[in-house]
């Protein structure tokens, strides 16, 4: 009777994982081979010779990632053992070659002498990345965000080749924790590299869209880098799930935590002041003012605002599915129109464009908002957190005003009234467990003033 013994190799790979070895015995046949399947040693049961998949009661992102990886490795191992047994059962037992088990493994992985004559070359890193984008079927916005990551990786690859004067290529199987850390350092400092390595940034510009093409990258903060690395993790998880690699370069990588300041938003009084300001001498600015006020009353992101058409109004309310949720768990958000919102809609009822309101480019819209604040004399000084330096700064609110401040105006003023994230989230599209609401739990200035008066 044939017996298969499984054990772990004594050596660890670059990710501190050990390879499962296979020993096959039947009569005089006694052959051993490497399986090309790697796992952390602590997840191997020597007695049962099986991969241990932990049953976590509560799972964070890293635990989910590990559990999925171990499940994939167990499935791959079971399939490989089935291939070995089938091969042995179908072969002539009196003529078993000394390399039979090795050849069996090679056949499973489609390589060696069993490979097709015209075997397709292994996909490059960026070919695999493109395959990932194609098969994930991401929304237009998320695909653009992943393309930002791709260009940054291409710049990093080219930078290493030029600066170290050697041919350097990113490869799925050879990226290590050190590579990730090197890429992080590059992202932190590449805004200083433009003058010396212009050829890199002309080939792979930092920003590409319909309005502008900016070769030079801006200085990045930790939050921005973490967002890019979350996308890179998602790519590697997909590669693991689809057996493109067994490499897990993020296993020993420790990222710095995101840091956010208290949300800055305008009061209802300031919003009304902006709406009542006379912009008759600046009619184009008056239109964008109306759009900004409408966004303050709807609370949507600009990506959703620009998708609204007249059909978005259903029974006196704006109804839409936030683009940010479409790839995960899509939800329908319905926001009833108040009297001011209805007034703005009526004002542009004769607008013949395809969109609900006469939008301009996002960049021009954000520039217009800053002018609108200044001309409306909404210029109070606020304390903001510089996401790059992580230090506080004092700035006039008109200088930091943007379309997202309209969303914060909606959320902040509602939350100030009801203090219920579920109610506000139903109107803003935030998830019930969104961390964003924790930043709105600051005690407002009126309450602070009343508390201090108690000491008089």
The Cα–Cα gap between 374 and 4 comes to 77
Q: What is the pLDDT of residue 222?
A: 83
CATH topology of domain 268-453: hpI Integrase; Chain A (1.10.443)
Span 428-450, pLDDT tens digits: 766 655 566 556 555 455 555 66
Cα-only R_g, the chain? 29
pTM summary value: 0.54
The Cα–Cα gap between 431 and 423 comes to 11
Q: What is the pLDDT of residue 314?
A: 93
Where do you find CATH 1.10.443.10 in the chain?
268-453
Q: What is the pLDDT of residue 116?
A: 42
Q: What is the pLDDT of residue 119?
A: 41
Q: What is the pLDDT of residue 257?
A: 75
Phi, psi of 5 (to 5 degrees): -110, 140
Residue 275 Cα distances to 289, 306, 382, angstroms = 7, 20, 21
Span 98-120, pLDDT tens digits: 888 888 887 777 544 444 434 44
3-class secondary structure per residue, the chain: CCEEEEEEEEEECCCCCEEEEEEEEECCEEEEEEEEEEECHHHEECCCCEECCCCCCCCCHHHHHHHHHHHHHHHHHHHHHHHHHHHHHHCCHHHCCCCHHHHHHHHHCCCHHHCCCCCCCCCCHHHHHHHHHHHHCCCHHHHHHHHHHHHHHHHHHHHHHHHCCCCCCCCHHHCCHHHHHHHHHHHHHHHHCCCCCHHHHHHCCCEECCCCEECCCCCCCHHHHHHHHHHHHHHHHHHHHCCCCCCCCCCCCCCCCCCCCCCCCCCHHHHHHHHHCCCCCCHHHHHHHHHHHHHHHHCCCHHHHCCCCHHHEECCEEEECCHHHCCCCCCCEEEECCHHHHHHHHHCCCCCCCCCCCCCCHHHHHHHHHHHHHHCCCCCEEEEECCCCCCEEEEEHHHHCCHHHHHHHHHHHHHHHHCCHHHHHHHHCCCCCCHHHHHHCCCCHHHHHHHHHCCC
N-to-C CA span, the chain: 92
Q: What is the pLDDT of residue 47?
A: 86
The Cα–Cα gap between 63 and 67 comes to 6
Residue segments in the chain with a per-residue pLDDT below the cut of 70: 1, 13-15, 56-64, 110-122, 208-215, 258-261, 324-329, 387-390, 419-426, 429-456
Span 198-237, pLDDT tens digits: 889 888 887 765 455 566 788 888 888 899 999 999 999 9
What is the phi-psi region of residue 64: left when phi exceeds 0, alpha when psi lies from -120 to 50, beta otherwise? alpha
Q: What is the pLDDT of residue 78?
A: 84
For residue 145, which of 160, 163, 133, 157 has the smallest C-alpha distance?
133
Q: What is the pLDDT of residue 83?
A: 83
């Amino acid at each position: 009777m044939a017996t298969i013994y499984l054990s772990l190799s004594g050596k660890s790979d670059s990710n501190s994982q050990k390879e499962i070895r296979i020993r096959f015995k039947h009569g005089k046949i006694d052959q051993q081979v490497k399986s090309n399947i790697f796992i952390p040693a602590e997840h191997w049961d020597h007695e049962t010779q099986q991969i241990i998949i932990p049953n976590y009661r509560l799972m964070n992102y890293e635990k989910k990632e590990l559990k999925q990886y171990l499940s994939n490795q167990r499935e791959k191992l079971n399939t490989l053992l089935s291939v070995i047994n089938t091969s042995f059962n179908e072969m002539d037992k009196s003529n078993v070659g000394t390399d039979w088990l090795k050849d069996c493994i090679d056949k499973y992985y489609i390589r060696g002498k069993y490979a097709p004559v015209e075997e397709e070359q292994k996909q490059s890193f960026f070919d695999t990345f493109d395959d990932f984008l194609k098969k994930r079927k991401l929304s237009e916005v998320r695909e653009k965000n992943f393309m930002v990551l791709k260009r940054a990786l291409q710049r990093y690859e080219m930078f290493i080749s030029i600066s170290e004067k050697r041919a350097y290529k990113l490869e799925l199987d050879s990226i290590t924790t050190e590579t990730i850390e090197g890429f992080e350092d590059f992202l932190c400092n590449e805004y200083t590299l433009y003058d010396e390595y212009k050829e890199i940034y002309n080939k792979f510009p930092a920003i590409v869209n319909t309005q502008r093409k900016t070769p030079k990258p801006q200085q990045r903060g930790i939050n921005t880098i973490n967002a890019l690395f979350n996308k890179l993790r998602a790519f590697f998880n997909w590669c693991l799930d689809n057996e493109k690699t067994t490499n897990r370069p993020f296993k020993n990588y420790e990222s710095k935590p995101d840091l956010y300041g208290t949300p800055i938003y305008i009061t209802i009084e300031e919003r009304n002041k902006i709406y009542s300001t006379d912009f008759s001498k600046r009619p184009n600015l008056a239109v964008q003012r109306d759009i900004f006020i409408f966004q303050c009353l709807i609370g949507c992101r600009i990506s959703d605002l620009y998708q609204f058409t007249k059909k978005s109004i259903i029974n006196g309310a704006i109804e839409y599915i936030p683009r940010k949720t479409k790839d995960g768990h899509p939800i329908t958000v319905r926001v009833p129109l108040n009297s001011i919102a209805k007034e703005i809609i009526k004002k542009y009822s004769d607008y013949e464009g395809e969109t609900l309101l006469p939008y301009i480019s996002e960049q021009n819209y954000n520039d217009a908002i800053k002018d609108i604040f200044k001309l409306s004399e909404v210029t109070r000084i606020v304390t903001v957190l510089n996401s790059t330096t992580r230090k506080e700064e004092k700035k006039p609110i008109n200088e930091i005003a943007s379309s997202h401040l309209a969303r914060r105006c909606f959320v902040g003023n509602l939350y100030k009234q009801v203090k219920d994230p579920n109610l506000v989230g139903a109107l803003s599209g935030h998830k019930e467990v969104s961390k964003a609401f924790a930043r709105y739990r600051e005690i407002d200035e009126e309450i602070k003033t009343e508390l201090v008066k108690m000491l008089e």
